[in-house]
Structure 1
Amino acid sequence: MNPRTLILGAVVLTVGILIGVFGGRLMGGGDATSGYGEPEILYWVAPMDPDYRRDGPGQSPMGMDLVPVYAGDEPADTSTVMISPSVENNIGVRTAEVERGRFAEDLTTVGYVRPVDDLTSVVDVRAQGWIEDLRVAAVGDVVEAGDLLFRMYSPEIVTAQTEYLQAVRVGRSGLVSAARSRLQALGVGAAQIEAIARRGEAQRLIEIYAPRSGVVLEMNVREGSHVHPSMEVMTIADLGEVWVIADLFEDAAAVITSEQDVHMRSPAQPGRMWHGQVEYVYPTVDATSRSIPVRMRFANADGALRPEAFVNLRIEVAPRDGVLSVPAEAVIRTGQSERVILALGGGRYQPARVETGPEAQGRVEVLSGLAAGERVVVSSQFLIDSEANLQGASLRMSPAEEEAPPPEVVYGSGVVDAIMAGHGMIDLTHDPIPALDWPVMSMSFFALDETVSLDGLAVGQTVDFSLRQNADGQWRIASISAAGSGSEPLVEGRGRVVTLMSEFGMVEIDHERIEAINMPAMSMVYELDDGVSLDGLSVGDEVVFSIEEEAPGQWRLTGYSIRSDAGETP
């Protein structure tokens, strides 16, 4: 075959393949772009505030269009905290889902009982006089409508009766009517006026009767008391129904309307519940408490609800559907904002700012900042939030590495604030102790054991001391002595008791190398410091001891304790 023919055929074949490939892509390009391979939109954020997130497009509070965030394009968030599974388990992390559903805003509050105004009557008089024959003994007495409350003597009423009788005898209807009206104006009832006319003589004492049935709530008179028209003699209230007043803040009162059902319990009668309704929401705000009174009415046939008693209330607010909510314990509230800790999965956690609404039945409405289906932390969230705030999430919470053991002995100096020798306790204001990262502060210390003596110390004295942990990991005084005496600081060592010489005030210890003073391991005899006793110590005991240099090369034993890790009691 002609070589030119072969070359031409190859070129034609190549061009055909290219046209087939690229032509197919061009013709099907619209479907491919909208099909698989297009990045997934995770959420939408405000251009100026990446913390403002929504599930779909919209506008930010600044009126700017939200922008999508695609999978793989999430910004590196420095507020994310990483926690390993072991740490999650140790600190007890629990999460809950952000739910969208029915939100029943039952409002719980407290209130107090008071009489119903339109079932309350005030007993007064319309002329000056004096109480005689008082029939009510005390506040709390129950009276019926028409019962005699008291009789009173009033010269003004006696004079008005005399004028009425004279008008009746004269027979002039105009005078009779005027005199009768005067008696009525002075509080004399129609039945009493008719009785006066029948008897034909003035009645010295006028009777005052109960205007309604009820309980005497106030009584401002006693037998013989002087009364006058501006005085409230008694207050009588029918307690068959009572009002309950609850003071609510404005945001809570905003969801309260008349005729909402109310359930009430009284601490004085556990297990009993009353049912009533909201009667009135007052239109004004109390200037002192910044609250709005809400009034409810309850039946009280047996009188169990007493005026001024406190009660617990639950007001049923109409539930709303489609409300986004989280458990109330998930919300971290500060003076400036509210936030939650989002569980992102894989041990990743992130603080998220939220705006919340009402709280009901252990859940709180979320107005902004979260989306349905996300998970929030409901326990240990304060630990995670502190980690994110203090470290900016640049340091991650990870499994605890092998920590270096604390030093066996720590030295310090300070001033004695108080001594409680009987309790083996001393208060010190100590200088900084770098080995424990302790600043200057006042602390109370117990002596490590009975061998540590606090004798000879005084309040205000500057001292040098050494600390050592007991079996519970608490730092205790291992040795202490007055400072400024020219002696060297106390040094601690470890060893085994070889010989006890109590009668000479000496002990021989075969000790390990003491790095603090570059002393090699050896067996050495030490003279005991004042107050150090060898009682309870035996040959062979493993001990931790402290020594103090009195003169170059001369060391005195200032204290010791039997090592607990050697199987002995410290």
Structure 2
Amino acid sequence: MKRNLVLLLLCSLTAMPVQAETSEPSQPAGLPAEVITVTSASLTEQLNAVGVLQANEAVMVSPEQNGRVSDILFSEGQKIEAGTPLFQLDSALYDAALAQARARARLSELEYQRASSLLEKRVGSRTEHDTRLAQLRVDQAEVALAQTQLDKMTVRAPFSGTLGLRQVSPGDFVTSGQPLVELTDLSTLKVEFSIPERHLQQLQTGQPLSLIIDALGADAFAGEIYAIAPSANPTSHNIRVRARVPNPDGVLRPGLFARIQVETARHEQALVVPEQALILQGNQTLVMQLNADNQAELTPVTTGLRRFGEVQILSGLAPGAVVVTAGHLKLRPGMPVTPVFADAPDEDADA
């Protein structure tokens, strides 16, 4: 009898915990899905174009008169200032012509002074006086002409810049217009590019831009638009734009390929989500966000700018909304979700 009571008591004690566990209602487990928290960020609108760097000024220095090269006054690759003598041509004939013109002018000046003295004493005529004065002016003009021709036998730099490789040697006879050496101004470079005509209203002179030169790495160079063509190309409907790029260190070179970015607008408090968060249904764009109970809801949104895998949300979401970025296919509206935050900090890394 006692043995039966002990067995009955043990069975009752064993069954009590099982009865307590089965008495709680079971909760459905939510499907895991990757989510992000929508936050505001700075977003810029920009135009992208390509162009080729050009020298600010580039010219092939040439003589204005014929002559033999008597001296070369520079080194190849040298940086020079405007007006620096570069070539000296043989000027013996022009030296003699100037001396002759000065002698004639001196004689005319003496004759004019004599005529003026006689006129003051009323023993000379006004006609003789005026004739001597006119001859003096002619001879003085001849002196100026001879001086100019002599000066042009020295070939000078028209602007400051860097000299290239010379094309002649001392003793060569050169003619007017013959290329002697290239002169390039590299202190500032120009870049020309084209944009579609629909973007014309977004550009203006003085607007900053940035350039990335692939040959020089990922560093960006700053520039500024200084000219916009007054008309569009009737075939391509593009408009040419020119910008200046400072080059104080001489790193940039004409002919380099440049990728150009022009910032046209900035949105400081823009809401952005990853592109993979968007769901397209016909003409409607939706995102799947989680409500306060972590249940999936489809929300229509209006999109704006797209850049680097992100999309601007103009309406439909508020800052702090939790949006599904992966796992849409297995979710339906109203289903519970176990959120896995893609933008959560890495606990292992913090430890």
Query: Which structure 2 residues correspond to residues 83-122 of structure 1 after superposition, within 5 A?
Result: 103-117=43-57, 120=58
Which stretches of structure 1, 4 residues or longer, exceed 6 Å deviation after superposition? 93-102, 321-326, 329-332, 344-350, 374-381
CA-to-aligned-CA distance 1:379-430 (integer Å, 9 cap, x gap): 899xx9xxxxxxxxxxxxxxxxxxxxxxxxxxxxxxxxxxxxxxxxxxxxxx
Aligned residue for 1:319, secondary structure, equals: strand
Matches of residues 65-214 of structure 1 in structure 2 within 5 Å?
103-117=43-57, 120=58, 123-135=61-73, 140-153=77-90, 161-170=95-104, 171=106, 172=108, 173-183=136-146, 186=149, 188-189=150-151, 206-214=153-161
Aligned 8 A contact 2:62 2:155 in 1: no
User: How far apart are 1:228 and its partner, in Å?
Assistant: 1.9
Q: Which amino acid aligns with 2:88?
A: R
Output the CA distance in 1 between the equivalents of 2:218 and 2:283. Answer: 38
Q: Which residue of 1 aligns with 2:213?
A: 266
The one of 293, 296, 299 equivalent to 2:246 is 299
Distance 1:137 1:372, change over 3 A: same
Return the offset for 1:165: 2.1
Residues 271 and 103 from structure 1, CA distance in 2 versus in 1: closer, same or farther, beyond 3 angstroms?
A: closer
CA distance in 2, matches of 1:114, 1:357: 36
How many angstroms does 1:104 deviate by? 1.8
Residues in 2 aligned to 1:180 and 1:158: alpha-carbon distance in whole angstroms: 16
- Paired amino acid for 2:99: L
Q: Which residue of 2 aligns with 1:372?
A: 316
Contact 2:278 2:286 in 1 (8 A): no
SS at match of 1:182: helix
1:263 Cα offset (Å): 3.3
Q: Give distance in 1, aligned partners of 2:140 and 2:326.
A: 84
1:283 paired residue number: 230
Taking the aligned partners of 1:129 and 1:349, their CA distance within structure 2 comes to 86
Higher-Rg structure is 1
Residues 360 and 271 (structure 1 numbering): CA distance in 2 closer, same or farther, change over 3 Å?
closer
Backbone CA RMSD of aligned residues: 4.8
Change (3 A) 1:250 1:312: same
2:195 matched to which residue of 1?
A: 248
| Structure-1 separation of matches of 2:277 and 2:173 | 65
Q: Distance in 2 between matches of 1:219 and 1:284?
A: 39
The answer to whether the 8 A contact 1:324-1:372 is kept is no
- Residues 1:169 and 1:344: Cα distance change in structure 2 (over 3 Å): closer
Q: Distance in 1 between matches of 2:84 and 2:214?
A: 35
Q: 1:169 to 1:180 in 2, by over 3 A?
A: closer
Q: Which amino acid aligns with 2:62?
A: D
Q: Deviations over 1:461-507 (max 9, x none)?
A: xxxxxxxxxxxxxxxxxxxxxxxxxxxxxxxxxxxxxxxxxxxxxxx
Is the partner of 1:293 in helix, strand or coil?
strand
Q: Deviations over 1:249-296 (max 9, x none)?
A: 334453223333333343333364433333333333345654333333
Give 2:132's aligned residue.
none
Question: Which sections of structure 1, spanning at least 5 residues, go unmatched?
Answer: 1-84, 193-205, 333-337, 385-570
Cα deviation 1:65-111 (Å, max 9, x = unaligned): xxxxxxxxxxxxxxxxxxxx99xx9xxx9898999986421444443
- Look up the SS of the partner of 1:308 in the other structure: coil
Q: Is the 8 A contact 1:343 1:376 kept in 2?
A: yes
Amino acid in the other structure paired with 2:316: A
Partner SS for 1:239: strand
Q: Is the partner of 1:307 in helix, strand or coil?
A: coil
Measured against aligned partners, the alpha-carbon deviations of 1:509-567 in whole angstroms (never above 9, x if no partner) come to xxxxxxxxxxxxxxxxxxxxxxxxxxxxxxxxxxxxxxxxxxxxxxxxxxxxxxxxxxx
1:175 Cα deviation (Å)? 4.1
**Contact preservation (8 Å) 1:243, 1:298:** yes
Aligned-partner residue type, residue 226 of structure 1: V
**Partner Cα distance (1:111, 1:295) in 2:** 10
Which residues of 2 match residues 155-554 of structure 1 at below 5 A? 161-170=95-104, 171=106, 172=108, 173-183=136-146, 186=149, 188-189=150-151, 206-216=153-163, 224=172, 226-229=174-177, 231=178, 233-270=180-217, 272-286=219-233, 290-320=237-267, 342-343=286-287, 359-360=306-307, 362-363=309-310, 371-373=315-317
- State TM-score, norm by structure 1: 0.36
CA shift, 1:305, in A, is 0.9
Q: C-alpha deviations, 1:351-397, integer Å up to 9, x for none?
A: x9x9x87644544568xxx852399997899xx9xxxxxxxxxxxxx
Give the TM-score of the pair, scaled to structure 2.
0.54
Indicate if the aligned counterparts of 1:331 and 1:340 stay in contact, CA closer than 8 A. no
After superposition, the C-alpha distances for 1:331-364 in whole angstroms (9 at most, x for unaligned) are: 99xxxxx9675357899999x9x9x876445445
- Structure 2, unaligned runs of 5 or more: 1-29, 109-135, 290-294, 330-351
Match of 1:242, SS state, is: strand
CA offset at residue 207 of structure 1? 2.5
Post-superposition CA distance 1:225-251 (Å, at most 9, x none):
63224x554442332222233333334
More helix per residue: 2
Other structure's SS at 1:258 match: coil
> Aligned residues, how many?
261
Q: Mark the CA change 1:225 to 1:166 in structure 2 (over 3 Å): closer, same or farther.
A: closer
